[in-house]
Amino acid sequence: MKKWMSALLAAMALLPGGAALADRAPVNMETPPAAIETFAEGELMAYDLTFPEEMPLTARNFVLYARAQFEKHPFEKLPKANEYTKWYYQDKREIGWCSVFQIYCAYHSGMQLVRHKQDVDVAPGDTISAMEGRVGNVYYVFEAHDRWQQADEMEAIPKPGYLVIYGVRGSTPYTHVGIVESVTALGDGLYELTTIEGNVNSTIKRMNFRYDATPKRTYYNMFEIPEDEITRENCQYTLHKDTWYVNGFCETW
């Protein structure tokens, strides 16, 4: 292939919003590839979001890239075989895609992907996510590298760019995964979270709710925001389901 064509395809692969899918997903490789170059500051739409000063640029871009996907498909019902699943699996299989969505956003924003049971060193300053379609394996990746905060064992504190894993009371503790967009500390262990999540009723949604890091009852740590205290726009304010809870957070950075 001519050099100019190779350069063109590489540039297209980095377009915001995943405008081009010529790049192949890394899922079929034995080990994940090296991280691609991240976007420079200001190359992605900022959406008036603010981030902690110490938050790495790659983690910021992870949030902004995920937000761009929401703005591209706001509350739009997507088929189970969609652009994210086709990119990841390279076929038209119909499957749950919440983790595939975060993989897509992580890869295209320049984060390093890590697999379950992969023999790899992760340094404290590395920005990573899990290249795993199963939510349980996402947990195992972060737990193996001491980057998992278990909500019922510690005061798990979310940050923008972290992954949040939800459980279902009386069922699986690893039912769904989302991306934390923003966090507001309200005091006494209470936080307001806005998240971006794929495959919520077959859509990409921004969720806005309150999370209690020190709940009185284990597995009861998610609450709806009172209607007269809602400040975010263009979000879903009802909980996923009454039986869901925050199982913990994956420290991507």
pLDDT tens by residue, 130-173? 999 999 999 999 999 999 999 999 999 999 999 999 999 999 99
pLDDT above 90: residue 253: yes
Specify the DSSP element, H or E, that contains 100. Answer: helix 98-108
Amino acid 30: pLDDT: 67
Closest by Cα among 196, 192, 174, 186 to 246: 174
Contacts 24+ apart (CB under 8 A), 216-220: 218/152, 219/152, 219/167, 219/169, 219/245, 220/245
Amino acid 175: pLDDT: 98
Amino acid 94: pLDDT: 87
Rounded to the nearest integer, the mean pLDDT of the chain is 90
> Do residues 234 and 206 touch, judged by C-beta distance below 8 A?
yes
Amino acid 16: pLDDT: 41
pLDDT band at 28 (very low <50, low <70, confident <90, very high): low
pLDDT band at 27 (very low <50, low <70, confident <90, very high): low
Residue 85 carries which side chain, given as an amino acid letter? T
Give the distance from CA 55 to its chain's centroid: 15
Closest by Cα among 94, 97, 80, 108 to 21: 108
Where is average pLDDT lowest: 23-37, 47-61, 69-83?
23-37
> Do residues 180 and 160 touch, judged by C-beta distance below 8 A?
yes
Q: How deeply is 32 buried, as exposed, middle or buried, from its count of CB atoms within 10 A (0-12, 13-18, 19+)?
A: buried
> Do residues 94 and 61 touch, judged by C-beta distance below 8 A?
no
Q: Is the dihedral of CA 187, 189, 192, 196 positive or negative?
A: positive
pLDDT above 90: residue 241: yes
> Do residues 132 and 32 touch, judged by C-beta distance below 8 A?
no
Amino acid 95: pLDDT: 86
Amino acid 40: pLDDT: 98
pLDDT above 60: residue 206: yes
CA distance 79 to 84: 10
pLDDT above 50: residue 8: no
Closest by Cα among 197, 193, 198 to 209: 193
> Do residues 212 and 199 touch, judged by C-beta distance below 8 A?
no
Most distant CA atoms of the chain, gap in Å: 63
CA distance 187 to 212: 10
Reading the block at residue 180, the tokens are 């934390």
Closest by Cα among 63, 46, 44 to 163: 63
Report the pLDDT averaged over residues 14-22.
40
